[in-house]
């Protein structure tokens, strides 16, 4: 494993091209969660990747040295060739906010203070020095956390003008912002500051239900489908929406930075005893499901209030939505359903990793006044040549066949339609948390038992978590209501009643799905696969889940994919132009350890 | 006899010393520590409580100059 991880992190295993842009800007985000680097040129983002994909540590927050190495090598340049390097937030401002929090919590927060200060004084405050170690001798620019989110949401969109909303845990101080994008201009107009944060509110409930913060929010969302919002009134006492559509938290219910758990005794009076870490992995607990449904309901109400404020303030009928809360696909779907806006865009990486892209985009367009490219796609990570793939397969000793593209597509479609579960590794890796047909596990959406099969053989996820479909863009109306386009799986939409028995494996308990729409220009070979599936089954739909093992990042390299393949019960791996099959009599090694649950809400 | 009186006197003085130390510590706590603690709590709470509702960002449209600042 360690040897493979080292091999997979080797930045030499990349497809190279020389970037012929007149401007080259490196964006960096790190030190909270999901560190990333993005190289931005005249034509928009050239390369971007999360550090976790190289280090194989999920949500790795450390300085993204390997991602930086990779984006520079991908472009065929060194740090000396860069024009600007921009960090995605202002560290000194954030440090000031943390000191204020400590003062507020004194003396209770002292236990958190010492390690936090060590990390700040050792590393975080001196980010410029760390950046210079990559070979950059120029000045380091500092974006703003929420402006970076806003830029990552606005500039890649196809909108000439838009309202821009960002909702996140906390940046320097802001937790929520409303801005306006117009051509090359982007301005933040209003903000709500810490400790009033929808992101932190949701994370407190995530931890209360025993899920890991910054990872278990999806689980809470999935669990909500099984509950009734019977605690919604209690949650509304925690988060108060004002007439001006701002919101504030009632701080008596929270203990940010005071206690290991971020909720107070009053919170427990309202919602009962907290759930021990990992306790909800088996059967569905009705109290937990009802609490999940309640926080989801109230979060959606608050998000709608902020979105309405943004519409009224900017007068725009288009919305760009960024920040970690923009990963709440149910809330995004509700904004669409409520028709607050005519069009809406959520980037592929709305969270902190996308801050690297946003910071670089802001410098490129707002400061240097270079035109926007407006061709958003998520395939900004590494790709591998046929030689790379052949070498990796030879090292693995697994049997494989080399085929041309039409045959690859035909065989994959035939296997999926026949009930097999396959690994799909094609082209450049996705930037962002979702697998979008480049590093995916695929299966037949029509099989009612497929969800259980994928869980039992490969993913080992909680049974209340749904699997998502990829659907050809032109067919989306046939299956789902109120969903114009969702190339990055950013929206949940209701399945039409008549198709709920047609593609049951990808429809959740509440009748919704988190959908990826696929067009011919998004990921051509993936689109061809869906076309072929349509010819075989009559449905251009496939179950698409991320190509990883539980608790691990999505695979990045052929070696990662092969390792995941041998450790699971995948029936075949479509690795670029090779079809890899299991060794005869091979017994897959199952991985069943439980993830450690983090119950502290980190706000530093 | 004299020795026992001395011992009793010594113990008494020690007790008084302990008492005085205790009183001194209490006074110090009340005069120095508690007000500082209270002031810090109130200041911190005030800083946080004041920050609710919409407010204008300090720099909603940064320029190259303001991007150079880490604060």
Concatenated DSSP letters of A329-393: HHHHHHHHHTTS-SEEE--S--SHHHHHHHHHHIIIIIIS-PPP-----S--S----HHHHHHHH
Whether A148 and A170 have beta carbons less than 8 Å apart is answered as no
Burial grade of A227 (CB within 10 A; 0-12, 13-18, 19 or more): buried
Is A495:A434 a contact under the CB 8 Å cutoff?
no
A590, pLDDT greater than 50: no
Nearest to A367 among B47, B52, B64 (CB): B64
Question: What local confidence, expressed as pLDDT, does residue A89 receive?
Answer: 96
A500 cis-preceded (ω within 30 degrees of 0): no
Interface probe, candidates A27, A88, A103, chain B, greatest B C-beta count within 10 A: A103
**How confident is residue B39, by pLDDT bands cut at 50, 70 and 90?**
confident
Residues of A in contact with B68 (CB under 8 A): 139, 141-142
Question: CB distance from B65 to chain A under 8 Å?
Answer: no
Dist CA A66 CA A95 (whole Å): 26
Does the beta carbon of B38 lie under 8 angstroms from any beta carbon of chain A? no
Say yes or no: B50 contacts chain A, CB-CB below 8 A: no
- pLDDT tens per residue across span A338-394: 999 999 999 999 999 999 999 999 999 999 999 998 667 899 999 999 999 999 999
**Cα–Cα separations (whole angstroms), residue A128 to A64, A79, A131, A362, A364:** 13, 14, 5, 19, 20
- Banded model confidence at residue A116, pLDDT cuts 50, 70, 90: confident
SS3 for A395-458 is HHCCCEEECCHHHHHHHHHHHHHCCCCEEEECCCCCCCCCCCCCEEEEECCCCCCHHHHHHHHH
Please give the radius of gyration of chain A, using alpha carbons only, rounded to the nearest integer. Answer: 23
Measured in degrees and rounded to the nearest 5, phi and psi for residue A400 equal: -150, 160
Residue-level pLDDT at A604: 42
The shortest CB-CB distance from A244 to any of B54, B63, B70 is to B54
Report the interhelical angle of A558-567 vs A386-396 (nearest 10°): 40
Mean pLDDT of chain A: 90
pLDDT of residue A600: 41
**Would you call A554 helix, strand, or coil by DSSP?**
coil
CA–CA dist A101, A68 (Å, integer): 32
Q: Cβ of A243 under 8 Å from any chain B Cβ?
A: no
Q: Is the minimum CB–CB distance between A107 and chain B shorter than 8 Å?
A: yes
Exposed, middle or buried, A482 (CB in 10 Å: 0-12/13-18/19+)? Answer: middle
Q: Do A506 and A514 contact (CB within 8 A), yes or no? A: no
Query: Quick check: B70 and A142 CB within 8 A?
Result: yes
Chain A residues whose CB is inside 8 A of the B55 CB are: 190-193
Model pTM?
0.88
Q: Quick check: A416 pLDDT over 90?
A: yes
What pLDDT does residue A597 have?
34
Query: CA-CA distance, A44 to A379, in Å (whole number)?
Result: 13
Between A217-224 and A329-337, two packed helices, what is the crossing angle to 10 degrees?
50
> What radius of gyration do chain B's Cα atoms show?
28
- Would you tell me which residues 304-363 of chain A have a C-beta closer than 8 angstroms to some C-beta of chain B? 309, 362-363
Asked if the Cβ–Cβ distance from A366 to B71 is below 8 Å, we say no
Contact across the interface for A143 and B57, Cβ inside 8 Å: no
Alpha carbon A558 to its chain's center = 22
Please report how the helices A198-208 and A286-314 are oriented relative to each other, as an axis angle in degrees rounded to 10.
170
Nearest CA in chain B to A95: B71
Contact residues, chain B, for A144 at CB < 8 Å: 57, 59, 62
B45 pLDDT band, cuts 50/70/90, is low
The residue in chain B having the minimum alpha-carbon distance to the alpha carbon of residue A248 is: B52
**Band of the pLDDT at A19, cuts 50, 70, 90?**
low
Mean pLDDT score, A150-166: 97
Confidence at residue A114, expressed as pLDDT on a 0 to 100 scale:
79
| pLDDT at position A281 | 80
Delineate the domains of chain A, giving CATH numbers in brackets.
2-155+348-367 (3.30.420.40), 192-345 (3.30.420.40), 386-580 (3.90.870.20)
CB neighbours (10 Å) of residue A411? 17
Catalytically active residues of A, by annotation: 33
Describe the strand order of the beta sheet including A25-29 as a list of residue ranges.
Answer: A44-50, A36-41, A25-29, A84-87, A140-142
* Nearest chain A residue to B53, by CA: A246
Q: 10 Å Cβ neighbour count for A375?
A: 11
Least Cα separation, residue B42 to chain A (angstroms): 7
Complex prediction ipTM: 0.82
> Residue A532: pLDDT above 60?
yes
* Structure tokens that stand for A109 in this block: 């927060």
Q: How far, in Å, CA of A163 to CA of A309, rounded?
A: 10
pLDDT recorded at residue A257 = 67
pLDDT at A63: 97
Run of H or E residues at A543 = strand A541-546
Residue A142 and residue B40: Cβ atoms within 8 Å? Answer: no
Between residues A335 and A282, which one has the greater pLDDT? Answer: A335
Terminal-to-terminal C-alpha distance of chain B: 75
Q: Which of residues 109-128 of A touch B (CB under 8 A)?
A: 127-128
Which A residues, 361 through 390, put their C-beta within 8 Å of a C-beta on chain B?
A: 362-363, 366-367
- The DSSP symbol for A322 reads E
DSSP A553: P
**What is the mean predicted confidence (pLDDT) over A497-502?**
95
- Tell me the two tokens of residue A553: 């990042």
Phi, psi of B12 (to 5 degrees): -60, -45
Residue burial A558-589, b: 16+ Cβ < 10 Å; e: rest: bbbbbbbbbbbbbbbbbbbbbbbebeeeeeee
At A598, the pLDDT band (50, 70, 90 cuts) reads: very low
Indicate the pLDDT class of residue B10, thresholds 50, 70 and 90.
confident
Residue B50 main-chain phi, psi, to 5 deg = -70, -15
Predicted local confidence at residue A21, as pLDDT: 66
- DSSP H or E stretch at residue A199: helix A198-208
List, as ranges, residues 2-31 from B with C-beta within 8 Å of A. Answer: none
CB contact under 8 A, A90 and B70: yes
Q: Do B40 and A106 touch (CB under 8 A)?
A: yes
> How many Å separate Cα A415 from the centre of its chain?
29
Measure A312 CA to nearest chain B CA, in Å.
14
- pLDDT confidence band for A244 (50 / 70 / 90): very high
């Amino acid at each position: 494993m360690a040897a493979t991880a080292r091999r997979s992190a080797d930045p030499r295993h990349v497809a190279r091209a020389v970037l012929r842009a007149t401007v080259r800007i490196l964006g960096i985000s790190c030190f909270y969660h999901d560190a990333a680097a993005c190289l931005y040129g005249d034509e928009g983002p050239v390369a971007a990747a999360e550090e976790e994909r190289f280090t194989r540590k999920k949500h790795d927050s450390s300085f993204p040295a390997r991602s930086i190495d990779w984006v520079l090598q991908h472009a065929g340049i060194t740090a000396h060739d860069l024009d600007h390097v921009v960090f995605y937030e202002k560290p000194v401002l954030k440090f000031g906010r943390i000191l204020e929090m400590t003062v507020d919590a004194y003396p209770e927060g002292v236990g958190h203070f010492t390690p936090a200060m060590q990390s700040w004084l050792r590393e975080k405050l001196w980010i410029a020095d760390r950046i210079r170690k990559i070979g950059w001798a120029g000045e380091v620019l500092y974006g703003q956390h929420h402006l970076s989110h806003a830029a990552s949401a606005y500039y890649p969109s196809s909108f000439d003008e838009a309202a821009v909303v960002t909702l996140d845990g906390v940046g320097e101080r802001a937790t929520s912002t409303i801005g306006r994008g117009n051509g090359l201009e982007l301005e933040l107009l209003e903000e709500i500051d810490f400790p009033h944060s929808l992101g932190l509110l949701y994370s407190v409930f995530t931890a209360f239900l025993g899920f890991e913060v910054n990872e278990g929010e999806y689980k809470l969302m999935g669990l909500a489908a099984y509950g009734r919002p019977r605690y919604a009134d209690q949650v509304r006492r925690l988060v108060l929406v004002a007439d001006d559509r701002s919101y504030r938290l009632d701080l008596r219910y929270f203990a940010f930075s005071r206690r290991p758990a971020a909720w107070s005794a009053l919170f427990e009076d309202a919602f009962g005893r907290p759930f021990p870490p990992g306790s909800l992995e088996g059967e569905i607990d009705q109290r937990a499901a009802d609490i999940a449904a309640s926080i989801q309901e109230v979060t959606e109400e608050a998000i709608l209030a902020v979105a309405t404020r943004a519409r009224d303030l900017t007068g725009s009928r288009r919305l760009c939505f960024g920040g970690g809360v923009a990963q709440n696909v149910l809330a995004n779907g509700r904004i669409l359903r409520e028709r607050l806006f005519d069009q809406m865009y959520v980037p592929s990486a709305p969270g902190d990793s996308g801050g690297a892209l946003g910071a670089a985009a802001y410098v490129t367009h707002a400061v240097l006044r270079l035109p926007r490219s407006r061709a958003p796609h998520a395939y900004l990570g590494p790709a591998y040549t046929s030689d790379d793939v052949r070498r990796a397969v030879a090292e693995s000793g697994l049997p494989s066949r080399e085929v041309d593209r039409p045959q690859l597509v035909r065989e994959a479609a035939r296997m999926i339609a026949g009930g097999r579960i396959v690994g799909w590794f094609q082209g450049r890796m996705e930037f962002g948390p979702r697998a979008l047909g480049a590093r995916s596990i695929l299966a037949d959406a029509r099989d009612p038992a497929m969800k259980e099969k994928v869980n039992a053989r490969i993913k080992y996820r909680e049974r209340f978590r749904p699997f998502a479909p990829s659907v050809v863009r032109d067919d989306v109306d046939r299956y789902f209501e109120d969903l114009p386009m969702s190339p990055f799986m950013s929206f949940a939409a209701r399945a039409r009643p008549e198709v709920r028995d047609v593609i049951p494996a990808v429809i959740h308990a509440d009748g919704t799905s988190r959908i990826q729409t696929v067009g011919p220009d998004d990921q051509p070979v993936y689109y061809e696969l869906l076309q072929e599936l349509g010819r075989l089954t009559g449905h251009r739909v496939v179950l698409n889940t991320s190509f990883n093992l539980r608790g691990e990042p999505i695979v990045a390299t052929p070696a990662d994919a092969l390792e995941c393949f041998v450790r699971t019960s995948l029936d075949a791996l479509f690795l670029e132009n090779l079809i890899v099959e299991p060794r005869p009599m091979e017994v897959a090694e199952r991985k069943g350890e439980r993830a450690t649950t983090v119950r502290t809400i980190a706000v530093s | 006899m004299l020795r026992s009186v001395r011992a009793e006197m010594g113990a008494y003085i020690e007790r008084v010393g302990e008492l005085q130390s205790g009183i001194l510590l209490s006074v110090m706590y009340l005069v120095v520590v508690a007000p500082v603690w209270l002031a810090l709590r109130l200041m911190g709470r005030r800083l946080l409580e004041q920050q609710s509702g919409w407010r204008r960002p300090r720099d909603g449209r940064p320029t190259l100059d303001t991007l150079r600042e880490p604060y």
